[in-house]
Structure 1
Amino acid sequence: MVMTRLYEIPGCDLIAIHTDRAANIVMQVHGRRREGRCPACGTPSAAGHGCYRRRPADLPSLGRAVRLDLAVRRLRCLNPSCTRRTFCLPVPTLLAPRVRRTRRLAKAQQRVGLATSARAGARLLASLAMPTSGSTLLRLMHAAPLPRAGRVRAIGVDDWAWRRGRAWGTLLVDLDRHRTIDLLPDRTSTTFEAWLRSRPGLEIVARDRSTGSARAAQAVVPGAQQVADRWHLLLNARQMLERWLVGAHARLDAWPVPSGSSRPTRDHAFPRSRTDQAAAREAQRRRVARHAEVQRRRAAGESIMAIARAIPLAPGTVRRYASTDHAPERGERRIGPSLLDPFLAHLEERLAEGCENGLHLVRELRNLGYAGGSRQGHKWLQSRRTRRARNTARRWRGTLPEGAALDPAAPPVRPVAVRLPGPKALAWIMMAAPARLSPPEGALLARVMQDPEAATMHGLVQQFAALVRAAGVGGNGVSARGIRRLAALEAWLAEARASSIRALQTFASGLVMDGAAVRAALTTPWSNAQAEGQITKLKLIKRLMYGRAGFDLLRRRMLLPP
C-alpha cells in the first residue's frame, strides 16, 4: 500500500520495481481496465485475447530516470460483422497513442522548453534525469494548446521590432489581468482591425501615438475610449524639441556664457591625443560626405527609408541630415568629475611659481592624498606649459627654443569656448525638471535661454511636461482636478499654436487631432506601461532563442505560462 501511494500511476496498478543495466528505475504496471467497447462498432467486450507491452518514459524519481513496463490488454470484438477482430484497452490519462513518454513527463519537458529554449532546455533536462533532444522539445512546444481568450475589457497596444527598422509586430496586453493576450505578425491597421472584430465588448484601448492603431480602433470599436500613453506624450515632446534644436543649434551655440552663471571647476575637458584628433577629423569628413549624399538623394525625390537602406544609415539620422543645411559637428565632450578636481588650486599655485615638471607635481599631489595616476597630471599640464618639456619627442617639438619662456606681459592663453552638447543631449536637459539639473547642466540651460525663441520653447515644453507628469499621480477621473487639467491643456494648446515656432505648432496640431485620447490620458488612470514591460520580456525571449524562433513559437512562449 505504501509503495502504491509513493508511485502513483494514473489508471494502472504497480506490480514491481527494479533497475536496469543503466541504473534506471523500471516499474512494471498493468492497466486496471478489464473491459471496453470496440472503437469500430461500439460493442462492449471483456473477452481477453492477449496483451502487448509498452515501455514509455515517466517522470524521474530520486534523481534517476524512470521507465514504465506497461502491459496493455487486448480484447476480442464480440460482433461477428465488425471489421475489427481485436482492440486494445488504452490508458488515456497516462499515455497518448503511439508515444514513448507519459503525458505528465511531456508536460514537464514542455514547460522547461517554454521557460528556456530548445537547446538550453535539452541540456537542463539531461541533468534532471528527463533526457530529450532539442527537436523533440520544439515539437512539444509547438503542440502546446494556446490559452482560451476570455472577455477582454481594456487592452494596451504597442508595436515591437522583429527586425529593427525593417519588420515590426503588434503586442496586445490585457490591462485588467496584467498579461499578454496576443501577438500580431505586423503593425498594419488591417491586421489590428481583424483582431478587434474577434473581441467584442472592448471598452478601453490604451495605445501610443500611432495613427494606424487609432484609425483601426475608431473603425471597429467606435464606442471604446482611446487613451494616449503618457510616456509617449513626453517622448513625442522631446522628439519635437530635438527636431527644433537640429535647426537652431548653430544659433544657440553662438551665444556667450552668461556672467554670474554657475560653471564647473574645469571649463573644458582635458586635451585629446593627436591620434584621437586625427580620427575625429576623419569621422567629420565622413559625416560631411554622408550629409551631402543625403541632401542629393532627398532633392532627387527619394524617401527617407530608401535613403537609409542605400547609404546605409538609421532613418532618424537620415531625417536629421535632410532637415539641416550643414553637416552636424561632433559634440563637445562632457566634463565629468576628475580625481584632480580637489587639487586644482595647488596645481595652479605651483604652476604660477614656475614648476612645470609633471612627475614632480604628481608626487606632490600624492603626498596630499591624490590617488590617481600620473597621466591625468600630465594632461592637465600639457595645455598650460610656457616652454617645451625636455623629454618631448623631436617630431613634436614646437617653435619655442629650449628654455625659452613666453612673454610674461602677453595675455594668457584662454581655453576654447565651451560648445553646447548635441541636439539630443540638449533636448534631455531642456525637458528635465529644473530641480533635477546639475550645476553644469544649469549653466548650459542659462546660456541657451538667452535666445528668445529657445526661452519660449523651454517654457512651453516645461508646462506640457509638468501637466503630463501630474496626470499620473492620482486624482484621475471626472473630478475638479481633472477639469483643471483639461482647462490647462486647452490654454497650452492655444498658446503653442499662437507661437511663431513651426515645430511647436505642428506638435500642438497633432495633439488637437488626437484630442479625445490625449484628454483621456490626463483624466483616466489607464496607461500603456504594461505593454512596455511585456515588450521587454518579449525581447529577452527573442534573444534567448538567438534570433532563430519563428513567429508561431515566439507567440506561444509569450502567451503560455512556463
Structure 2
Amino acid sequence: MNIPYAIPECRVAHLVERHHDHLVVPVRLDAATGCCPECGHASRSVHSRYHRQPADLPLSTSQTKLRIEVRRFYCLNPTCRRRIFAKTPTDLLAPHARRTRRLGEAQARVGLACGGAGGARLLAHLHMPASRATVLRLVTRMPMPDTPAPIRVGIDDWAIRKGSRYGTIVVDLDRHRVVDLLPDRTAPTVAGWLERHSSVALVAWDRSTEYARGASLGAPQAQQVADRWHLLTNMRQAVERWLHGAHARLRSLPLLPGSTVRPARRNRAFARSTTELEAAAQSRMRWQVVYDEVRHRHAAGKPLLAIARALGLARATVRKYASAETFPARLPHGAGPSLLDPHVAYLAGRIDEGSENAMALWREIREQGYPGTSRQVHRFVAERRTRPVRSGRKPRSAKASASEPPGSETLLPPARQLAWLLVQPTSVLNESEAAVVSRVEQDDTARAVTGLARRFTALVRAAGKGNPVADDRDAAADIEAWITKARTCEAPAIATFASGLEADIAAVRAALMEPWSSGQAEGQVNRLKLIKRQCYGRAGLNLLKRRMVLAA
C-alpha cells in the first residue's frame, strides 16, 4: 500500500497496519550502509536491528505511527574507539524523539496560533494529539528567525500587568513585523537595545520622555519622529486640563442672542430618588475635602507626584484639582438612551389632558409596545404632577425644580467634551456645537486657547493627510512660530504643552515632514493583547515574544 506523502531517507517495507485508534506504517532506511559518527568510515556489516515507533503526520482521519527498522553496524576501522553505531534517519527524527520533526513543527505552528490549551484541543481534532505543556514546549524550542537588520522602527509600551508593570514593543516599520519585546519601558533598556542594533536610522515614538532619552542615548545618529496622533491627543489633553480650572468661569458666560436654551428632546436624566440624591451629596462632600487638601498642599509648594502618593490619588486627579480655580463638581447627567424615549411625546400629551395616574399611563404605553416597567413612568409623571396624590404628598415638580442647580439650563458640556469641540475646525461643527463654542469664545483666554488649538490641529492633520509642509524651513518656521505664541498664552496648560514641544522640536518637525509614525506599534499592541488573553495571563515574556515574532 502506497502512502500519499514521502518519508525522508525511508521506504515503505510492508502494508500499512490498521489498529483500533491509529495506523502503523512499517518503513526501512534506503541506505544499505552506514557511516560511523566518530571516524566517518562506511560499513555494511550489520550487528543487529531494532524498531522505533515515532508519531507522524496523520493519514486521512487516523493518527499515524512509523515503525522504523533501525540497523546497528560494526565499525571496521581498527583505530576507532566506537565498535557499534546505529544508522537513523536524521532528517526525519531527532535523537530519542517520540515524534517526527515535521509533526513537531506542525504542532508548534498550531501552538503559535492558538496557545497551549487551545492548541491541544485543536490538535486532538486534527488527529495529532499533544498535551498543552508539550505544545508550549515545542513552541519555545522553535528557533527565532533570521531577520534583516531593522532600519526604521516604532516603539510603544504595552501592559504586562495593567497599572503595575509595562514593557516595550519594537516594530520594524518597513517590514510591518514585530522585532522584539522588552521587559520594561525605561530609557536604559531602550538604549541598550538600540546599541545592539546599530543599523537603526529612524525611531518613531509616542512622545514618552523615557523613549526620547533612550533613543538619544542608544541611537544618537537616528532621526526621532513623534507620533502625529499623540500630538493631537496631547493638544486636546492640554485644553482639557485648562478647562478643568476655567469651567466654572465659562459657565457664567451669557448665552448669545438667538441661541436655543433647551433642545426639543429630553436633555437631562430622569429625576433621582431621595436616597440617590443623599448619596451624591455625601460623595461630593468627600471629594470637596480631598480638593481642599490638594489645593492646600499645592499652595505650600509640594510636588504633584508627592501629593498623589501621600493622598493615594492618581497624578491626573491631583493635576486637575491643583489647576482648578473652584471645585470641579460633577455636572448633571445628560439624557442617556431610555426605553421611554419613543413614548415621551404621548405621555406629555396625556398629562396635559389631565391624566396623572402613572399606572394607567404605563398600561396605555405598554399596549403600544413599551417593554419596560412602570418605574420610569412614575418618575416621569412625578416631575410633571400638578395635583397632590391621594396620600397628600406635594407634587414632586416643585421639589425637583428647587434641587436643580442654578443656571442648569445654560450648562456647558463637561471639560472633556468641550475640549474636543474647541480643537475641531469650525467647518465640522453642527449648529448647536458652534453655538457652544461661540459662547465660550466670549472669554479672551478661551478665544486664544481655541485659536492656538485649531492652528496646531490644522498643521498636524495636514501632514497626516499626505500634505506635508513644503520644506524643512517652512515646517520649522510654522511650528516654532506656534510654540513662541503658545508659550505666552495665559492658560498655563497650553504654555506647558508648548514647552514640551520645544524640548522635542526635532521629533515634532519630523512628524510634520516624514510619513512614519508609531501607528504600526499601536496595532501590534492590539494583537499582543489578544495573545495575552489566549494565554489567560500566564504567558511569560519569552513565550509572548515567540508568538509575536514567529507568527508574524
- TM above 0.5: yes
Selected match of 1:457 from 434, 445, 449: 449
Q: Deviations over 1:382-415 (max 9, x none)?
A: 222222233xxx5xx53579xxx99xxxxx9896
5+ long unaligned stretches in structure 1 = 407-411
Instruction: Describe the SS at the equivalent of 2:14.
Output: strand
Q: How does 1:167-316 map to 2 (within 5 A)?
A: 167-262=165-260, 263-265=262-264, 266-288=266-288, 290-291=290-291, 312-316=312-316
Selected match of 1:99 from 85, 97, 114: 97
Selected match of 2:481 from 463, 468, 491: 491
- 1:272–1:483 CA distance, 2 compared to 1 (3 A): farther
Selected match of 1:552 from 534, 542, 550: 542
Q: Deviations over 1:239-293 (max 9, x none)?
A: 2112212222222233344442244223433212334323323433443455466
- 1:82–1:435 CA distance, 2 compared to 1 (3 A): same
- 1:437–1:271 CA distance, 2 compared to 1 (3 A): farther
Instruction: Describe the SS at the equivalent of 2:253.
Output: coil
- 1:370–1:88 CA distance, 2 compared to 1 (3 A): closer
Does residue 527 of the first structure (1) align with residue 526 of the second (2)? no
- 1:35–1:309 CA distance, 2 compared to 1 (3 A): farther
- 1:437–1:544 CA distance, 2 compared to 1 (3 A): farther
Does residue 40 of the first structure (1) align with residue 59 of the second (2)? no
Indicate conservation of the 8 Å contact 2:245/2:320, yes or no: no
Q: Distance in 1 between matches of 2:519 and 2:50?
A: 58
Q: Which amino acid aligns with 1:453?
A: T
Q: Which amino acid aligns with 2:287?
A: R
Question: Offset at 1:379?
Answer: 3.0
Question: Offset at 1:347?
Answer: 5.5
Question: Offset at 1:105?
Answer: 0.6
Instruction: Describe the SS at the equivalent of 2:185.
Output: coil
Question: Offset at 1:498?
Answer: 2.5
Aligned to 1:139: 137
- 1:487–1:303 CA distance, 2 compared to 1 (3 A): closer
Question: Offset at 1:530?
Answer: 0.5
- 1:76–1:366 CA distance, 2 compared to 1 (3 A): closer
Q: How does 1:105-120 map to 2 (within 5 A)?
A: 105-120=103-118
Instruction: Describe the SS at the equivalent of 2:13.
Output: strand
Instruction: Describe the SS at the equivalent of 2:16.
Output: strand
Indicate conservation of the 8 Å contact 1:287/1:328, yes or no: no
Q: Which amino acid aligns with 1:515?
A: I
Aligned to 2:332: 332
- 1:270–1:202 CA distance, 2 compared to 1 (3 A): same
Q: Which amino acid aligns with 1:185?
A: P
Question: Offset at 1:133?
Answer: 0.8
Question: Offset at 1:104?
Answer: 0.6
Aligned to 1:398: 393
Aligned to 2:419: 427
Q: Distance in 1 between matches of 2:53 and 2:308?
A: 59
Q: How does 1:469-480 map to 2 (within 5 A)?
A: 469-476=461-468, 479=470
Question: Offset at 1:235?
Answer: 1.3
Aligned to 1:16: 14
Indicate conservation of the 8 Å contact 2:154/2:521, yes or no: yes
Indicate conservation of the 8 Å contact 1:264/1:439, yes or no: no
Selected match of 1:148 from 146, 150, 153: 146
Indicate conservation of the 8 Å contact 2:248/2:326, yes or no: no
5+ long unaligned stretches in structure 2 = none
Q: Distance in 2 between matches of 1:296 and 1:33?
A: 88
Q: Which amino acid aligns with 2:2?
A: M
Q: Which amino acid aligns with 2:548?
A: M
Q: Which amino acid aligns with 2:420?
A: W
Question: Offset at 1:61?
Answer: 1.4
Length, aligned pairs only: 544
Aligned to 1:409: none
Q: Which amino acid aligns with 1:120?
A: G
Q: Distance in 2 between matches of 1:421 and 1:151?
A: 50
Selected match of 1:536 from 518, 526, 529: 526
Indicate conservation of the 8 Å contact 1:264/1:440, yes or no: no
Q: Distance in 1 between matches of 2:271 and 2:247?
A: 24
- 336-345 or 257-266: bigger deviation: 336-345
Aligned to 1:55: 53
Aligned to 1:518: 508
Q: Distance in 1 between matches of 2:108 and 2:141?
A: 9
Q: Which amino acid aligns with 1:272?
A: R
Indicate conservation of the 8 Å contact 1:467/1:485, yes or no: no
Instruction: Describe the SS at the equivalent of 2:68.
Output: strand
Q: Distance in 2 between matches of 1:14 and 1:194?
A: 54
Q: Distance in 2 between matches of 1:302 and 1:499?
A: 25
Aligned to 2:63: 65
Aligned to 1:389: 389
Selected match of 2:498 from 494, 500, 508: 508
Q: Distance in 2 between matches of 1:203 and 1:182?
A: 17
Indicate conservation of the 8 Å contact 2:382/2:395, yes or no: no
Selected match of 2:458 from 458, 466, 472: 466
Q: Which amino acid aligns with 1:252?
A: L
Q: Deviations over 1:475-517 (max 9, x none)?
A: 33x736x765544323322221232222111111111121111
Indicate conservation of the 8 Å contact 2:153/2:203, yes or no: yes
Question: Offset at 1:454?
Answer: 1.7
Q: Distance in 2 between matches of 1:298 and 1:21?
A: 80
Q: Distance in 1 between matches of 2:448 and 2:381?
A: 42
- 95-104 or 313-322: bigger deviation: 313-322
Q: Distance in 2 between matches of 1:302 and 1:37?
A: 79
Question: Offset at 1:561?
Answer: 1.6
Q: Distance in 1 between matches of 2:444 and 2:348?
A: 38
Indicate conservation of the 8 Å contact 2:11/2:30, yes or no: yes
- 1:95–1:312 CA distance, 2 compared to 1 (3 A): farther
Aligned to 2:2: 3
Q: Deviations over 1:391-443 (max 9, x none)?
A: xxx5xx53579xxx99xxxxx98965144343333323333444444555445
- 127-136 or 29-38: bigger deviation: 29-38
- 1:486–1:298 CA distance, 2 compared to 1 (3 A): closer
Q: Which amino acid aligns with 1:100?
A: R
Instruction: Describe the SS at the equivalent of 1:383.
Output: helix
Indicate conservation of the 8 Å contact 2:321/2:327, yes or no: yes
Selected match of 2:155 from 146, 154, 157: 157
Q: Distance in 2 between matches of 1:255 and 1:372?
A: 42
